[in-house]
Structure 1
Amino acid sequence: MVRANPLGRIGKTGDAARSVVFLASDDSSFITGHCIVCDGGYTLP
């Protein structure tokens, strides 16, 4: 699983938490109607 991830590591709770903090901040005020994928690039198109 680690080798399949482009970042070469398993995600940590802090990785997801930073995404949540960003979405709750004013920095994301122009983001609407999107699903944010927090997987380290595992599901690259």
Structure 2
Amino acid sequence: MGTMTLRGIDDQTAQALKERGSREGVSVNAVTLRLLREAL
């Protein structure tokens, strides 16, 4: 499994990821991975 760094994430997007993770009881990383998988 690889590692990836995302740069240039605007504050609004970062906050939305944090809020979603909090609502769903998962980490920002888990939310981001799921969204990427769903988009591809």
Check whether TM > 0.5.
no
Larger RCO of the pair (alpha carbons < 8 Å, separation 6+): 1
Structure 1-normalised TM-score? 0.35
Greater per-residue helix proportion: 2
Structure (1 or 2) with the larger CA radius of gyration: 1
Structure 2-normalised TM-score? 0.38
